[in-house]
Structure 1
Amino acid sequence: MSQEPPSAADTRERQPNETNIRALVEAFYRRVDDDPLLGPIFARELAGRWDEHLAKMTTFWSSLVLGSKQYRGNVQEAHRPLEGIEPRHFARWLSLFLNMVEARYAPAAAVQFMEPALRIAQSLQLSKFGWDYQIPAEQEELLAALKRQRTGGNDEPRFPERPAGEPFPARFVGKPVDER
Structure 2
Amino acid sequence: MNHETEPPRYAEPDESNVRSLVEAFYRRVDDDPLLGPIFSRELTGRWDEHLAKMTTFWSSLVLGSKQYRGNVQEAHRPLGDIEPQHFARWLSLFLNTVEARYEPAAAVQFMEPALRIAQSLQLSKFGWDYPIPAEQQELLAALKRLRTGGEPQPDLPARSGGEPFPARFVGRGKPG
9-18 vs 69-78, which moves further: 9-18
SS at structure 1 position matched to 2:73 = helix
Contact (CA 8 Å) 2:145, 2:154: kept in 1 or not? no
SS at structure 2 position matched to 1:127 = helix
Letter in 2 for 1:107: P
Given the superposition, is the C-alpha separation of residues 10 and 90 from structure 1 closer, same or farther in structure 2, using an over 3 Å criterion?
A: closer
Contact (CA 8 Å) 1:138, 1:170: kept in 2 or not? no
Where do 1:112-151 residues align within 5 Å? 112-151=109-148
Hey, what does 1:177 align to over in structure 2? none
Where do 1:19-30 residues align within 5 Å? 19-30=16-27
Given the superposition, is the C-alpha separation of residues 82 and 24 from structure 1 closer, same or farther in structure 2, using an over 3 Å criterion?
A: same
Given the superposition, is the C-alpha separation of residues 54 and 138 from structure 1 closer, same or farther in structure 2, using an over 3 Å criterion?
A: same
Percent of pairs with identical residues: 83
In structure 2, how many angstroms separate the alpha carbons of the residues matched to 1:23 and 1:32? Answer: 14
Hey, what does 2:174 align to over in structure 1? none
Where do 1:149-160 residues align within 5 Å? 149-152=146-149, 159-160=156-157
Contact (CA 8 Å) 2:89, 2:167: kept in 1 or not? no
SS at structure 2 position matched to 1:168 = coil
In structure 2, how many angstroms separate the alpha carbons of the residues matched to 1:164 and 1:87? Answer: 22
SS at structure 2 position matched to 1:171 = helix
TM-score (structure 1 length as normaliser): 0.85
Given the superposition, is the C-alpha separation of residues 137 and 131 from structure 1 closer, same or farther in structure 2, using an over 3 Å criterion?
A: same
For residue 96 of structure 1, the aligned residue among 93, 96, 108 is 93
Ranges in structure 1 where 5+ consecutive residues have no aligned partner: 1-7, 175-180
Letter in 2 for 1:69: K
SS at structure 1 position matched to 2:159 = coil
160-169 vs 42-51, which moves further: 160-169
For residue 107 of structure 2, the aligned residue among 110, 113, 118 is 110
Letter in 2 for 1:111: V
Contact (CA 8 Å) 1:15, 1:105: kept in 2 or not? yes
Hey, what does 1:53 align to over in structure 2? 50
SS at structure 1 position matched to 2:169 = coil
In structure 1, how many angstroms separate the alpha carbons of the residues matched to 2:99 and 2:48? Answer: 24
In structure 2, how many angstroms separate the alpha carbons of the residues matched to 1:10 and 1:28? Answer: 13
SS at structure 2 position matched to 1:65 = helix
Alignment partner of 1:82 is 2:79: yes
Where do 1:162-173 residues align within 5 Å? 162-169=159-166, 171-173=168-170
TM-score (structure 2 length as normaliser): 0.87
1:162 positional shift: 3.4
Q: How large is the Cα RMSD of the aligned pairs?
A: 2.3
1:11 positional shift: 3.6
Ranges in structure 2 where 5+ consecutive residues have no aligned partner: 172-176
